């Protein structure tokens, strides 16, 4: 298991958990880009959004269900942003599918 987020999902590397169920884990990003910056990951290894298929796509729904629960729990009443960087040009640094949930400030568009 040579994947940092697989190790976090397995509890081998500690994280500050926000939400967890059988399929999904959410924890605070170590390098927050907003007052609230949570990463939501599948517990099983999927490298990126480019690897989503009809066979594994149900996890994306589970992740967005978790995002709605987390946004409610963290009182992001004014809104939030969900981002998944994919591949080197997309700015992905950890090759395990993850969604950034950012909130607590006004977001700008377009992103950099």
CB of 100 to ligand AMP, least distance (A): 6
Q: In this chain, which of 9, 15, 46, 99 binds ligand AMP, going by CB under 6 A?
A: 15
Q: How far apart are CA 98 and CA 3, in angstroms?
A: 13
CB of 45 to ligand AMP, least distance (A): 14
- Interface segment toward ligand AMP; rule CB under 6 A; list 23-31, 52-60, 63-71, 72-80: 23-31
Residue 91 interacts with ligand AMP (CB under 6 A)?
yes
| Angular region, 101: left φ>0, alpha ψ -120 to 50, beta rest | beta
Residue 98 is a catalytic residue:
yes
Which residues does residue 25 pair with via DSSP β-bridges, in sequence order? 20, 41
Measured CA to CA, the distance from residue 60 to residue 83 in angstroms comes to 13
Residues in contact with ligand AMP, counted by CB under 6 A, come to a total of: 12
C-alpha of 97 from chain center: 8
Q: Which residues are catalytic?
A: 98
């Amino acid at each position: 298991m040579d994947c940092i987020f697989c190790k976090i999902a397995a509890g081998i590397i500690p994280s500050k958990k926000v939400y967890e169920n059988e399929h999904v884990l959410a924890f605070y990003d170590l390098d927050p880009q907003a007052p609230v910056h949570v990463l939501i990951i599948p517990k099983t290894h999927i490298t990126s959004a480019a690897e989503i298929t009809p066979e594994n796509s149900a996890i994306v729904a589970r992740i967005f269900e978790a995002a709605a629960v987390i946004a409610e729990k963290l009182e992001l009443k004014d809104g939030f942003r969900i981002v998944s960087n994919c591949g080197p040009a997309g700015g992905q640094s950890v090759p395990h599918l993850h969604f950034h949930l950012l909130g607590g400030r006004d977001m700008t568009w377009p992103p950099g």
